[in-house]
Each structure stands twice: as C-alpha cells, then as structure tokens.
Amino acid sequence: MISLAKGVLLGKGLQELEKWALSEGQQQFRGRQLHEWLYRKGAKTIDSISVLPKNWRNDLNHRGIEVGRLKVIKNFVAIDGTHKLLIETDDSETFEAVGIPSENRLTVCVSSQVGCPMGCCFCATGKEGLQRSLETHEIVDQVLSIREVMERRPSHIVFMGMGEPLLNIESVLRAIRCLNSDLGIGQRKITVSTVGVINTLPKLAEMSMEILGRVQFTLAVSLHAPNQKLRESLIPTARSYPLETLLRDCYKYFSITGRRITFEYILLDSINDRLEHAEELAVLLAGFQSHINLIAYNPIGDNKFRRPSKKNIELFKSILESKRISVTLRSSRGLDQNAACGQLRRQQYLNVIN
C-alpha cells in the first residue's frame, strides 16, 4: 500500500491520487474524483466527498486520513476590496493570507512559515519570531481559502506573506507544483520573495529543476538598501550574508535557470529613499539582468519608520529610470486593515495575552 504522508490529501497531484486509490483497493477513477473534489469543488472533509463509497469514507476517517483544509478564524476586508485572512492550523498556530483584487486579476499573498526568524526591523512578522514552517497543504489551503471568501479564481500567487520561503524550500516548491498542475495557475504568474539565505539560491535553482521540471516562476530578492552597511541596519541576517555574496549567488541562480531576477526595495522615509541611495542602487545593479520593484513602506503601528512622501517616491523611481534601470512602483493595498505582513497575527496574539 502506498503511504499517504501525514495522512493529508491536499497537495497531492492527479497521478499521486490515482496510485493511492489503487493502493487502497479502489479503482483508479476514484483518484480522479478525489482530485476534482479537492481542487475544483474545494472539499473540506472526507465526508463531504459524497461520490466516494461510504464504507471507504468511514475507513479513511477511522484511520485519520484528512483533506487537509484549515480554519479561517478572521476575515478583514479593506475599503479597496483586499481580504486579509487569519488562518488557524491543526496545532493551533495562526498565520495570514491576503487576497488582492484588481479588475483583471486576483493576487494571493501566501505565507510560507508561522512567523519568521529573519528579524527585519521594518517587518511585523519578525517581531514574534519563528514558530514553524508550513506544510505543502497549508500553503495550498491559503489559495483555496481566498478563492472561497472572495468567490473568484486566483490568477497570481506571491510568496510575500509571513516567513522566509528559502527556509522552507521543499514545501514551497511542492506547493508551486500543486498550484500550477492542479489549480491551473501558470508558473509565470507565481513569485517567490526572499530576503536572502546564505548558500540557498543555487540550491533553490537545482531543487526547482528537480521538483518542477522547469523554472518559470519569478524570484524576488529583497535588497532594501544599496550598500552593505545600511542593509545590515535593516536586515540583521545580512551581517552573515554580505551584499556582494548575495549578488554573486543571484548570478549563479540566473546562470542555472535563465530567469531574470526581481529586486525588491522598500522605501523608508529619510533612511533609504534619498537621491544618493537611488544613484548607488543604479550603480549596484548596472548590467544585471533584473527588474526593481519599489514598495512604499506600510506602517506597522510603531513610530520608528515612516512612509515616504509621494514626491520622494516618484523622484527615486525617476532617477532609476534615467539610469536605464527597469523599475515598477508597486501600489500598497489594504492599508486601512493593517495589511503589512504579520500585523493581523500579532494583533490577535496581543489580544490573547492582554
């Protein structure tokens, strides 16, 4: 009999489900039925998959086999239509997922961990540390949950929620494979964001080729500073991962995958948004096959950092463009509902202990 890891169905592909059904003494088409109910109909329990024989459903329940869906305990809706979900795991941990709608797309911002160990000083997630990494089904569930509450099919996925994806590479890549093959979301519409973990970018490239067959998702590397000294002041882990080494690893990733890298840069008022910072950033990335996403800081309830003025944001962008650097200004969404990563979970935590 084929073993079902952790007793969870969600995250398994069609062929895996067909083979598993056969190993259970069922006909192969039962695997196809499971696949349809998991990914198209969004089944949440074994009993809800009514096309399966009742005696098999009873046996699966008795053995602790589960669909693997989680519980949405809060859904905050912003004025602009952004949905922010607080999701609870079977072991009572909580994490966040965000649905960001526009006229032609629905982007789901997913988490890869409960909390984060990276400690970036401008990020709410890092203030609570790391509890654990998420399993593949817990990542896939976020997309299904957003689809359900927003009653709309997600078109784009960004791993920019809670956690550092490169500290959970295998689950993240298996989730990408599932989202691509089973939910029909193209790899080119999926982005994995990382602040950088030493010695992992070449590993990510190699594991991506192994698990996905080909690498088409976008890798987004968070720089947030044009030099090592400033970056260290914002990202504690940068002390052990110099900017020069990070960029060298980015070159290695590009040479293996052939995929252009996106660099993310959060603009913090009077800290990294000055004209000299834009000039320095342009020099740093000159000749690099890349694109820059500028992101205006989303306040997290403290007074340490501020959002730059619209004028400064536009000026920073124009300097990069004048240096022939490909750049996009990403709009902030859901500001009235504390949409910065980790804010909702942190607020829930503080409410509990107080």
Query: Which residues are the active-site residues?
Result: 96, 341
Cβ-based neighbour number of residue 179 at 10 Å: 26
How far is Cα 293 from Cα 217, in angstroms, rounded to an integer?
Answer: 16
What CA dihedral angle connects 192, 195, 199 and 200, to 10 degrees?
-20
How far is Cα 112 from Cα 96, in angstroms, rounded to an integer?
Answer: 10
Nearest by Cα to 35 from 10, 69, 53, 7: 10
Residues 6+ apart with CB under 8 A from 278: 315, 316, 319, 320
Q: Establish how many alpha carbons lie within 13 A of residue 91's alpha carbon, considering only the half-sphere containing its beta carbon.
A: 7
Write out the two tokens for 205. 């490239």
How far from chain centre, in Å, is Cα 54?
Answer: 37
- Is residue 297 within 8 A of residue 308, CB to CB? The reply is yes
**What is the number of helices (H) and of strands (E) in the chain?**
11, 12
β-strand pairing of 113-115 with 83-88:
unpaired
